[in-house]
Amino acid sequence: MIIVTGGAGFIGSNLVKSLNERGRDDILVVDNLSDGAKFHNLADCDIADYIDKHVFLAEIEAGKEYGAVEAVFHQGACSVTTEWDGTYMLRNNFHYSKALLHWCLDRHIAFLYASSASVYGGGRVFREAREHERPINIYGYSKFLFDQHVRRVIPTAKSQVAGFRYFNVYGPREAHKREMASVAFHFNNQILVDGEVRVFEGTDGLGNGEHRRDFVYVGDVCAVNLWFLDHSDNSGIFNLGTGSSRAYNDIARVVLGWHGRGAIHYIPFPQELSGHYQSFTEADISLLRSAGYEGRFRTVEEGISDYLAWLNSAKGL
The C-alpha atoms of residue 150 and residue 116 are separated, in whole angstroms, by 14
Active-site choice (50, 98, 177, 266): 177
Q: Dihedral of CA 124/127/129/135: which sign?
A: positive
Q: Is 110 helix (H, G, I), strand (E, B) or coil?
A: strand
Active-site choice (113, 139, 170, 248): 139
Active-site residue 277, yes or no?
Answer: no
What's the helix, strand, coil split of the chain in %, to 5?
45, 20, 40
Active-site residue 293, yes or no?
Answer: no
Q: Any bridge partners for residue 200, and if so which?
A: 267
Nearest by Cα to 142 from 164, 116, 181: 116
Tell me, what DSSP letter sits at residue 280?
B
- Could you tell me where the beta strands, DSSP code E, fall in the chain? 2-5, 27-31, 49-52, 71-74, 110-116, 161-166, 168-170, 196-200, 212-213, 215-217, 236-240, 246-247, 263-267
Residue 305 burial (CB count, 10 A): 16
Radius of gyration of the chain (CA): 19
Give the residue numbers annotated as catalytic, written as ranges: 139, 177
